[in-house]
Amino acid sequence: MTDIDPERIVTQQDLVAQLAQLYKRQTSGLAKFCRSAGLSPTTVQRIVRGGHELPKAETIEAFVRACGEDPLKWINARDRIAVYNYQSPRRLPVRNCMRIFLGRGWWQGVGAVIGTLSLFVAIFQIMPKSNPRVAEGGAESKNLSITPRPRFANIGLSWGITNPLFVGSVADLPEAPYFDKEYSASHCVWWEDFLSTDKRIYALDPSIVARLIADSSDVVSIYKIDLRILNRTRLQEPFVFIRCEYGAGGWEGYEAVLDTVKRTTHVWGSGSDKSSRMPPATITLKDGGVEGVLAHIDSRRGYLYDGILIIFANINGKDQELHLGDVANPLRWAVPDMPKYEPVYDWHPDKRKWVKVKSEPPMGW
């Protein structure tokens, strides 16, 4: 299905494909579109990428209106699918353990796990430790000393590549690393080194996770997020779309959109559909805990990019500049100027070759 016609929509896959085309046809950047629709960036990307859950009717209405179309036929198409889904048994793909535990994409899960482990390690480190000689009899209690509890405020950054673009032909694709077939619906985590080290692989719809970690006496703030573009080249054929993630994970936390064309950053509060420009808006964590920021990159279509993410933060009154990527190993992302990302290929672990795929891994994996 290539034409935009909501009356021809039959399946949820059709709905996703046509909404994606509708979105790519409008000319607003991601941040401006989200403000116009009153939707968060994650909601918009979940609509155009597809997920296991059907979008709500009011979400479809807001999305389609922001695209400049009458939403009635689209809502009717959505309702047809809802009836079909209710009447038909569905086979949900297997999810990896991080998604089961966290309900997120693997790269978001990695950031959450890192943040949580860091918190546990820090708590363990600040717990008072007993003097074994005192515990045995207390005779040397005069040697007991109390050391100040250290602070462990920090900001961790992670970059995950899911469903990337490969610059080259299908014949040029290298052999993919092994992954357990149990995780066929979400095996990007098995390919982390493969996807990040091959300089012919670029992230599509890239996102970055920042984790703020603070003790009860800490104050951690992000007051600016910037992206330094090192190189921009026109995307030319041949190139191949790769798929290793077949679900759409949720996100609970702050979101940001970095518009590299207008050089602006907008942020959304946790669970909010209203945005603020950064600066002057800031993201602050105090009174302890862990907070996440999911930063989306919105760049001009039709190009390949290399760049460095720069976070300007203040941790306990001290300004810090944090970098993700460098000149030797920059972040890489691609923004194709086309209505649909297809055909798409995934590695078949039994046949040991790249095969075309759609919304689910081939049967029998």
Work out the pLDDT band at 88, boundaries 50, 70, 90: very low
Bridge partners (DSSP) listed for residue 348 = 353
The 3-state DSSP composition of the chain as helix, strand, coil percent (nearest 5) reads: 30, 30, 40
- Model confidence at 220, pLDDT cuts 50, 70, 90, reads very high
Bond from prior residue into 280 cis (ω within 30 degrees of 0): yes
Closest listed residue to residue 213, CA positions, set 151, 154, 287 = 154
- Local structure of 124: helix, strand or coil: helix
What CATH number should be reported for the domain whose range is 6-87? 1.10.260
Segment 95-141, tens digit of pLDDT? 333 333 344 444 445 454 445 444 444 444 444 443 333 333 333 33
pLDDT at 262 over 70: yes
Residues of the chain with CATH 1.10.260: 6-87
State in Å, rounded, how far the first CA of the chain is from the last one: 27
Across residues 194-214, what is the average pLDDT?
88
Helix (H, G, I), strand (E, B) or coil at 37: helix
CA distance 31 to 43: 12
Instruction: Answer whether 294's CB lies under 8 Å from 255's CB.
Output: yes
User: Hey, what amino acid is at 37?
Assistant: A
pTM of the model: 0.64
Bridge partners (DSSP) of residue 355 are: 346
325 contacts 309 by C-beta, under 8 angstroms: yes
pLDDT at position 334 is 94
pLDDT band at 238 (very low <50, low <70, confident <90, very high): very high
The encoded tokens of residue 162 equal 């899911």
